[in-house]
Amino acid sequence: MSENSKTFEKQVYRIYELLKNNNEKVMWNDRIIDPDNPSQSRQIDISIRNGQDLTLVECRIHKSVQDVKWIEELIGRKLSMRANAAIGVSASGFTEGAKLKTKAFGIALRDFYTLTETEIQKRGTKTTVITGII
């Protein structure tokens, strides 16, 4: 993993950590036992647990926008890990094909270009973010 990828994942982790509710546990660089192969653990960029519910968050920091191929990988990971939800976070955005595929399979997409006021209000309370600290 490159230092840029690691830093990006930690930044995304910090955002989810700040926005979590009281029942959620957010972990960066989590290892989860593969339900189909209990002798193997799978690396997950960020996991969010709320009781028995599991959300997987996968991050990409690439120069090009992420396409449908990566979304299909996320769909497979969500199914394989028996997760309730999956979120793809890209520093460079997503192609239209990728966006259409997520609608059909319930994968949420996030980037640093779009965040609605409603999403902000629904997720948590006002916080102060100090930049430069990871």
Residue 3: predicted pLDDT: 86
Residue 115: predicted pLDDT: 55
| pLDDT tens readout for residues 47-94 | 999 999 999 999 999 999 999 999 999 999 999 999 999 999 999 999
| pLDDT tens readout for residues 87-128 | 999 999 999 999 999 988 889 999 876 655 565 555 544 444
Residue 40 pLDDT exceeds 60: yes
Q: What percent of the chain has pLDDT over 70?
A: 83
Residue in this structure with the two tokens 């094909």, named with its chain if needed: 97
Residue 51: predicted pLDDT: 95
Q: Domains (ranges, CATH) in the chain? A: 3-123 (3.40.1350.10)
Give the pairing type, strands 24-34 and 85-90. Answer: unpaired
Residue 119: predicted pLDDT: 56
